[in-house]
Structure 1
Amino acid sequence: MTKRSKNLFAKTALATTLAVGLLLPSASYAATTSQIVVKPNDTMYKIAKSNGVSLDALIKANPQVKNPNVIWPGMSLNLPESSATPSQPSKPDPAPAEDNSFASQVVNLVNKERAKEGLKPLTTDAKLTTVALDKAKDMYNNHYFDHNSPTYGSPFDMMKQYGVRYSYAGENIAKGQRTPQEVMKSWMNSSGHRKNIMSANFTKIGVGYYNGEWVQEFIG
């Protein structure tokens, strides 16, 4: 992994965990990342404050910004969110025919959690669902667990390749959970993942599941 990737997604601790996880297929993991598009009158300080992160962390997550005092509308910034959550082994993987059902169940569970907090439900987006499924397949087929894909680049690069437009965007990934309920429990018990799921900035979702790989894509 490049130094830039580590800065973008704060994956140093996660990489260590994954080295163990690859030897223990029954374990499960999760990670999250998100991106925001700068709006008129935004500053790094305002963006950090409104998204609950420190200014220093925001600056470190965006090494491409040479002068933090100079940002402009339309610029994409990475929000520094990432975590890993181990969980217990459970039942075997379901048959591939259930993949679509699993994705739909995750969307329903997401909207149930949002309803508890008085948030509007997310709408399933066809392009975003394709992104999520292709990302899940890419992780499985290329034997990696990371927001950065060797095939598509960052989640945000991938969205743009698929014609997905957004002002806010985020991604949650997980590996090894066997049911929609199990993966949602892992995500909801992690502050970074929960923040993406419960964000009022997001209005659309796409979910992909493939051979134990789970992906949530969010945009707003």
Structure 2
Amino acid sequence: MKGFKKLVLTGVLALGPIIGAGAVSAAPSHTVSSNDTLWAISQKYGISLKSLITVNPQLVNPNLIWPGIVLNIPGKSTGTGSGYGTGSGYGTGSGYGSGNGSQQGTGTDSTTQSSYASQVVNLVNQERAKAGLSPLASDSALTKVALDKAKDMYEKGYFDHNSPTYGSPFDMMRSYGIRYTYAGENIAKGQRTPQEVMDSWMNSPGHRQNIMSPNFNKIGVAYYNGVWVQMFIKN
């Protein structure tokens, strides 16, 4: 029986009280003052007006902003990916990467979970070493967050960065006490082995960018009933 493989990318966030996700990076959020306009804010951060509007979908009418609202500020880096977006900030991505694949993995015991997670960390660091990048340290607290996210997706039957239980990956990290200056998440479903899921991620430009980003120094990886989660941070 053929399974259905899925991949989704969330990019990184950067400094400050951040409330969004981008495909590559995001700078601090900005609290609107009485004299602000979107144009003035875009000029202040050296970004385009279009990218500022794109990362703030909560603005029903971009011509109307008011003091006290918090705006997401996209980063200047560029990149491509599925899920949350392409390029800076939220962007507009292509959604899930998908394809017909092998039967979904079913290993659920703690030994399998731990072994698969460790293997993925090793594979990530092998790829980073080839590019001359520093290895990512496996973080036990972040690994717990990743495992709870994988379980939540499996048990509640969804496949998305935004959890009905925990909110966005970044909300979830903060609720678990994870501190970061950059953060990111890759998720996948249906791959049977660590090598298979890594091949899928590395063949997707956006997911690969998270794996190979010099902005991260820690990683948490989880596997649960065919659901894979990578979480990345720098702190």
Q: Hey, which of these two has a bigger chunk of strand by percent?
A: 2
TM-score (ref. length: structure 1): 0.74
* Alpha-carbon offset, residue 139 of structure 1: 0.2
Comparing 58-67 with 167-176, greater Cα deviation is found at 58-67
Deviation at 1:36, TM superposition (A): 1.6
Secondary structure in 1 matching 2:10: strand
User: Residue 89 of structure 1: which of 102, 112, 120 is its match?
Assistant: 102
Q: Which runs of 5+ in 1 are unaligned?
A: 1-23
Deviation of residue 123 (structure 1)?
A: 0.6
Instruction: Tell whether the 8 Å contact from 2:105 to 2:226 is kept in structure 1 after alignment.
Output: no
Q: Distance in 2 between matches of 1:48 and 1:190?
A: 29
> What is the aligned partner in structure 1 of residue 78 from structure 2?
none
For the Cα contact (< 8 Å) 1:25–1:176, is it kept in 2? no
Identical pairs, percent: 56
CA apart distance, 1:79: 4.1
How many residues of Structure 1 are paired with residues of Structure 2 in the alignment?
191
- Which residue in 2 is equivalent to 1:163? 177
How has the CA–CA distance of structure 1 residues 31 and 47 changed in structure 2, closer, same or farther, with 3 Å as cutoff? farther
* Structure 2 equivalent of residue 217 of structure 1: 231
Cα distance in structure 1, aligned partners of 2:149 and 2:141: 12
**Rounded Cα–Cα distance in structure 2 between residues aligned with 1:48 and 1:130:** 37
Amino acid at match of 1:189: N
In structure 2, the residue corresponding to 1:186 is in which secondary structure? helix
**TM-score normalised by L of structure 2:** 0.70
Structure with max Cα Rg: 2
CA deviation profile, 1:191-216 (whole Å, cap 9, x unmatched): 11001001110111000100000000
Aligned runs of 1:1-220 on 2, under 5 Å?
Answer: 26-37=3-14, 38=27, 56-57=50-51, 59-64=53-58, 78-80=89-91, 83-90=96-103, 92-96=105-109, 97-220=111-234
Aligned-residue RMSD, C-alpha: 3.4
**Residues 172, 216 of structure 1: 8 Å contact kept:** yes
Q: Distance in 2 between matches of 1:84 and 1:47?
A: 32
